[in-house]
Amino acid sequence: MSTPHITDSHCHLDFPNFDEERDAVIARAHEAGVTRMVTICTKLRLEPSVRAIAERYDSVFYAAGTHPMSAADEPMATVENLVALAQHPKFVGIGETGLDYHYTADSKAVQQESLRIHVEAARQTGLPLIIHARAADEDMARILSDEHTNGAYTCVMHCFSSSKELAQAALELGFYLSMSGIAAFPKSQELRDIFAAAPVDRVLVETDAPYLAPPPYRGKRNEPGYAAHTARVGAEVFGLTYPEFAAQTQANFERLFTKAAL
């Protein structure tokens, strides 16, 4: 029986701890059934190196933006630059962007300005916005809603681990929630309940590799192949078989990330 296919919708293959064995990491992902990976650029000055990885591997696509924790330290993104980058055939999303008040609350205003620029780029390109949200639920819900009123766009709440209120706000806007290894942690039942209440056609899976490895690899370097472990937990959450859930998340990914559809 063939291995069900899934997509790692968010990873960071440009990080140095993959440099020595990137070929092997991607080969292991394929063996686990991961047919596509979206590698995310978090600082626009690094976009060329992230793009090069996507160009080297058929199964790797990429997105680029300014991570909120870097918003105050990096040059402000422009809509024009993001739109220009999006012309590349393997550039499939805008971000990651968002708000993070856990460590970088002092740069709230800059983060919000950066976020709105990325939203406009998503709106103009038709590509999905990739959102990082931590300790900023109220502002995040408000800005995403305000911006949607100004003009529709699509969006995924990457590595979703926020409140049920933010989940509901995102879902009401037609957005997607992405399930990371956090959802597979034993103490994450509250988060699994939030996902269980979401429409199954609005859920993606990801690793956020090299971070947040799911059991049985927790505490070790994460890699795209481990998305299969999170997806098996997702299948349990929704009361589906693993092949059913895998097929559903593939369809969800292709509906949102249209440029990466097989």
Query: What is the Rg, in whole angstroms, of the alpha carbon atoms belonging to the chain?
Result: 17
Instruction: Report the chain's terminal Cα–Cα distance, integer Å.
Output: 21
Rounded to an integer, what distance in angstroms lies between the CA atom of residue 204 and that of residue 210? Answer: 18
Instruction: Check which CATH number belongs to the domain holding 157 and give it.
Output: 3.20.20.140
Identify whether 150 is part of a domain.
yes
The whole-model pTM stands at: 0.97
1 lies in some domain: no
Q: β-strands 203-205, 176-179: how paired?
A: parallel
94 within domain boundaries: yes
CB burial string 60-94: b at 16+ within 10 A, e below? bbbbbbbbbbbbbebeebebebbbebbebebbbbb
Mean pLDDT across 72-94: 98
Structural domains of the chain, count:
1
Give me the chain's average pLDDT, please: 97
Question: Within 10 Å of residue 55's Cβ, how many Cβ atoms?
Answer: 13
Residue 116 lies in a domain: yes
Spatial distance between the Cα atoms of 9 and 133, rounded to a whole number of angstroms: 16
Range of the domain at 132: 6-260
At residue 2, the pLDDT reads: 84
Band the pLDDT of 34: cuts 50, 70, 90: very high
